[in-house]
């Protein structure tokens, strides 16, 4: 749990003197209440496996126990009471992780009442958080689960320079967003560059140009660095005050009541707290940005103020700077073939994702769509095919890293999920066939070893409260 210190005073009982103390204030006042569903052991036998870390196994067994992956290999023994699934002719992968989703904040049905993804009141709204706009009954979560998606980053929209915090969710049915929050996953900060902020605010006092965008970024980061320094100075001064107080006690001074008062904590600022979290390395920057030249300028700006850009999203020109992305350990979260729909998206190529991968940089397939999230396996398949047509010779096992382990690392949950490795969460999908085929579908989806979707069992096809009683009740047509 990330915490921040503020100063409070309290009376020490029995002595009648005021004693200063440091009080911890929770920086995450809306903690996860997620609890994995109870599930018995599961053994999948003889399936074709993409392990999510780049390897491909033609016939392997996978054992899930106590919510974790415990073994991947051949001829594994089934524990007592295990459910044994025949994986012959089927494929097994880690669950898909979408790093750019607006499910819940732009929910279905798409009407004004469910549009909560952009706080379009100021170009800087770092103080807001997507978790406060997520509607957990969005039917889109169920559709995404049927597409093999087990986790996702819910981001604010891209109207603002600083759009607010993004929240990592597990894709499980829940009454509350807290019940979906991925425990201990870091927050993200959504930022945006280019056409969107200047279009939205050009007639609202600015910024109205790319120059204005960068000017406002830098002014805001200057305020954030000053805010961070005030807290760093406060903690240092408080430590010195405590040392001095202890020294005075050791000397048994008679004038203890004349001790210097403790330093006063800075006034809290929600907007600056988010940005201070970025500067402290606690919150991960995810930035909407299309053009290569702007991405490089943003990297320069991040070095000026001492933070790291986790990923550029959409990044249709990432192929032009793949070497710089690798050098700066910055991911590119991309579409397979969206482009040309506005000027900054004009210079897109279908080989973008595989070219970033081929350069050794972190490539990710994302959706930014309530429809696309249902078929991210097919988006990866298109990108893989286009790359191999260009002679890049990328394997299917490598391509699955674009959907699981690379997204997990970006979101700060790579030590918990994203690959079929012993000790990681049992977030697993059993596919009817090769998941890079348009004819294959997710048969069974597990989150933390519990079955949350089964294509052949209505009991495991969740229906949103919003759809109950309506024709079809969530059935796919």
| Phi-psi label, residue 391: left if phi above 0, alpha if psi -120 to 50, beta otherwise | left
Task: Specify the 3-state DSSP secondary structure of 274.
Answer: helix
- Which are the contacts of 423, defined by CB distance < 8 A and separation ≥ 6? 68, 69
Please write the tens of the pLDDT for every residue from 442-456.
999 999 999 999 999
The whole-number pLDDT of residue 279 equals 98
Tokens of 194: 């280019």
Q: Cβ distance 429 to 440 under 8 Å?
A: no
Reported as a pLDDT band with limits 50, 70 and 90, residue 465 is confident
Please write the tens of the pLDDT for every residue from 311-328.
999 999 999 999 999 999
Evaluate if residue 210 carries a pLDDT over 90. Answer: yes
The whole-number pLDDT of residue 6 equals 39
The CATH number fitting domain 96-212+270-421, selected from 3.10.20.30, 3.30.70.1380, 3.30.300.30, 3.20.20.140? 3.20.20.140
**What is the DSSP code string of 60-77?**
EEEEEETTEEEEEESSPP
The whole-number pLDDT of residue 10 equals 31
Q: Cβ distance 97 to 105 under 8 Å?
A: no
Average pLDDT of the chain to the nearest whole number: 92
Lowest mean pLDDT among 139-153, 236-250, 276-290, 432-446: 236-250
Classify residue 128 by its DSSP letter. Answer: -
Q: Cβ distance 261 to 19 under 8 Å?
A: no
Tokens of 343: 């000027």
The whole-number pLDDT of residue 316 equals 98
| Phi-psi label, residue 297: left if phi above 0, alpha if psi -120 to 50, beta otherwise | alpha
Classify residue 181 by its DSSP letter. Answer: B
Lowest mean pLDDT among 86-100, 259-273, 426-440, 446-460: 259-273
């Amino acid at each position: 749990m990330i915490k921040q210190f503020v100063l409070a005073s309290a009376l020490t009982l029995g002595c009648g003197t005021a004693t200063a103390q440091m009080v911890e204030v929770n920086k995450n006042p809306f903690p996860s209440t997620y609890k994995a569903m109870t599930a018995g052991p599961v053994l999948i036998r003889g399936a074709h496996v993409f392990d999510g870390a780049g390897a491909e196994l033609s016939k392997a067994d996978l054992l899930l126990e106590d919510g974790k992956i415990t073994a991947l290999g051949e001829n594994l023994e089934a524990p007592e009471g295990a459910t044994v699934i025949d994986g012959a002719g089927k494929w097994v992968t880690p669950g898909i992780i979408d790093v750019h989703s607006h499910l819940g904040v732009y929910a279905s049905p798409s009407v004004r009442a469910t549009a909560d993804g952009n706080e379009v009141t100021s170009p800087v709204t770092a103080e807001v958080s997507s978790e406060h706009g997520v509607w957990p009954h969005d039917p889109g979560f169920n559709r995404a689960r049927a597409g093999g998606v087990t986790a996702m980053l819910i981001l604010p929209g891209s109207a603002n320079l600083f759009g607010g915090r993004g929240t990592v969710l597990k894709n499980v049915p829940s009454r509350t967003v807290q019940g979906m929050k991925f425990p201990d996953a870091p927050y993200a900060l959504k930022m945006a560059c280019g056409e969107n902020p200047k279009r939205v605010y050009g007639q609202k006092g600015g910024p109205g140009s790319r120059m204005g965008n960068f000017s406002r970024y830098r002014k805001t980061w200057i305020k954030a660095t000053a805010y961070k320094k005030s807290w760093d100075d406060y903690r240092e001064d408080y430590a010195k005050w405590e040392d001095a107080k202890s020294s005075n006690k050791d000397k048994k001074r008679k004038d203890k009541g004349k001790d210097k008062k403790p330093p006063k904590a800075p006034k809290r600022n929600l907007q600056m707290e988010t940005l201070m979290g970025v500067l402290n390395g606690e919150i991960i920057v995810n930035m909407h940005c299309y053009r290569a030249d702007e991405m490089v300028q943003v990297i320069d700006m991040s070095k000026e103020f001492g933070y790291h850009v986790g990923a550029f999203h959409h990044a249709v020109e990432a192929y032009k700077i793949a070497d710089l992305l690798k050098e700066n350990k910055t991911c590119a979260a991309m579409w397979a073939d969206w482009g040309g729909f506005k000027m900054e998206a004009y210079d897109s190529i279908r080989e973008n994702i595989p070219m970033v991968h081929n350069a050794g940089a972190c490539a990710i397939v994302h959706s930014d769509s309530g429809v696309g999230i249902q078929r991210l396996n097919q988006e990866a398949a298109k990108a893989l095919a286009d790359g191999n047509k260009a002679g890049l010779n990328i394997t299917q096992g490598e391509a699955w890293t674009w959907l699981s382990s690379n997204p997990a690392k970006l979101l700060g949950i790579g030590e918990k999920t994203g690959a079929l490795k012993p000790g990681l969460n049992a977030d697993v999908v059993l596919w009817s066939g090769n998941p890079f085929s348009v004819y294959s579908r997710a048969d069974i989806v597990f989150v933390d070893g519990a079955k949350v979707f089964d294509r052949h069992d209505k009991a495991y096809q969740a229906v949103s409260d919003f759809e109950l009683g309506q024709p079809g009740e969530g059935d796919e047509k």
